[in-house]
Amino acid sequence: MNKKKFQIDGIDKIILKHLVQDARTPILKIARDVGVSGAAIHQRLRKLEASGLIAGSKFVLNPKILGYKSLAFVGIFLDVSIQYKEAIKRLKEIDEVIESHYTTGNYAIFIKILCRDNEHLMQVLNHKIQKINGVARTETFISLDQQIDRQVKI
C-alpha cells in the first residue's frame, strides 16, 4: 500500500507549536493568534488527531518531586532472541521500567528505569530485571543529567 504523507499547512503548524509548547494554551488564544474562529481551531485539531499526527496529550509529572532521583538506561542481553516477548511481558510488570525498546546492536532490549536512589536501582536490577527468565546479563548506564528534552520540530 502506498500511503500518502499527511500534509499540514501554516495554520496547523502554528496550532501545533502553541500546544507542544503548552498543551493547556486556551483554544481561543490560539484562534486570536491565527486569526480564525475557535471552532475552526477545534475542527483542525480533530483532523490532526484523526490523522494520527497527534498521538495524545498528557500531564508530565516531575519524578524528583515524588522522590525518584535515579534515572538509568539498561541494556538487556537475552540468552536467545525468542525470549523477547516473554521478557517484555515481565518488564511491563516492573513499575520502575518507564520505557522499553527492541533494538539492533549489542542489546536485545534497551530500557529506561526510574528509581528513588541508586540503592533502589540496585534492588530493581538484582531482584527484578536480572531474575527474568532468559535475561543473560544487563549493562547499566546511570544518567547524571538530561540536557535535551524535546519533540520533533514542526
CATH of domain 10-51: 1.10.10.10
82-136, pLDDT tens digit by residue? 899 999 999 999 999 999 999 999 999 999 999 999 999 999 999 999 999 999 9
The DSSP annotation for 33-85 comes to HHTS-HHHHHHHHHHHHHHTSS--------TTTTT--EEEEEEEEESSGGGHH
- Classify domain 70-143 at the CATH topology level: Alpha-Beta Plaits (3.30.70)
Provide the pLDDT for residue 56: 86
Residue ranges of the chain that CATH labels 1.10.10.10: 10-51
51-91, pLDDT tens digit by residue? 999 988 888 899 999 999 999 999 999 999 889 999 999 99
Residue ranges of the chain that CATH labels 3.30.70.920: 70-143
Provide the pLDDT for residue 58: 85
